[in-house]
Chain A
């Protein structure tokens, strides 16, 4: 029986759920720690055939996918999804091109340009790193003083943080929606409610979760978003804008699903493994 390789760099609850599900459903998997992997790029010296890519590091994820895909391995998600969904600016441009609602955004390529943008466009703005997640380094900037401090700090970081990406602050209920899309189905969705006093909804930051009904409209938007980044299995994050309705603000290519499983009871890991198995 051909096994599914689960490529990871850290074991989260999601990876444990995948291992448990594989055992329960008699699906053969092999867990491979990407940190221990070396691959001769010019020889196909491994027996990996189908990969469920779970590396949480953006760079490790896209580089290992590039190698394996280049050697003829089927990787879920593919390199294009890793690149495009892993970078919020790239995702934004593709969503816009596809006519999918997403928060208005601006990019500035230096601190001076960013300050000029604030001078001309005003406040508030949400500043987000183009790469990274869990709400880290995401700030709501309300005035020039905080803009100056935050952007100054970013200028001394890795060059990826010198790409200053800003989104409008979307007027919405104090929650967002995480939808798990597998293949052509939106299989489960939750509302993520902001923790008291925090405008961010990340459950990592104390936000709570509850089941969200998947309407035709929600599924339609999520499938379009998934296709925009050439994805197979993604987590689509949306807000309910008072002005525009459903807006997609993020697509996650190695999506976490622990809260979706806990709240909805839907066996997301089983559906993921069955989907990947079906591609073999």
Chain B
């Protein structure tokens, strides 16, 4: 469990999470990319939709 850097709400990282996965704060909707850290993951503000993203 960590805190959202936008709204400080509790933000849980799934137990099967992997590096590069996007997690979204249920309170404010901010999205974060999981980045490997010595003790689990750090959260980095994520780009969730790019202008040229698709499929």
Contacts and interface: CB of A to CB of B under 8 A. Distances in A.
Interface of A: 8, 10-11, 16, 19, 31, 33, 56-59, 86, 131-134, 136, 157-158, 160, 235, 252-256
Closest 9 CB pairs of A and B: A133-B54, A58-B52, A11-B21, A11-B20, A252-B55, A56-B53, A132-B54, A254-B55, A131-B52
A155 B43 CA distance: 36
Contacts, number: 54
Contacts of B46: 10
Nearest to B34: A11
Contacts of A132: 51-54
A86 B22 contact: no
Contacts of A158: 51
B55 A11 contact: no
Nearest to B48: A10
Contact of A57 (B20, B33, B52): B52
A131 B52 CA distance: 6
B54 A11 contact: no
Interface string B12-41: 000010111110000000000100000000
Contacts of B20: 8, 10-11, 31, 33
Interface of B: 16, 18-22, 33, 46, 49-55
A58 B49 CA distance: 12
B18 A19 contact: yes
Contacts of B19: 11, 33
A92 B18 CA distance: 38
Contact of B54 (A19, A31, A131): A131
A35 to B, nearest CB: 8
A136 B55 contact: no
Contacts of A253: 55
Given A11-B21, A133-B55, 16 more contacts: A10-B46, A11-B19, A16-B18, A31-B20, A33-B20, A56-B55, A58-B52, A131-B54, A132-B51, A132-B52, A132-B53, A133-B53, A134-B54, A160-B52, A253-B55, A254-B55
29 contacts: A8-B20, A10-B22, A11-B18, A11-B19, A11-B20, A11-B22, A16-B16, A19-B18, A31-B18, A31-B20, A56-B50, A56-B53, A56-B54, A57-B50, A59-B52, A86-B54, A131-B52, A132-B53, A133-B53, A133-B54, A133-B55, A134-B49, A134-B54, A136-B49, A157-B51, A158-B51, A253-B55, A255-B55, A256-B55
Nearest to A35: B20
A57 B21 CA distance: 16
B20 to A, nearest CB: 4
A158 B20 CA distance: 27
A262 to B, nearest CB: 17
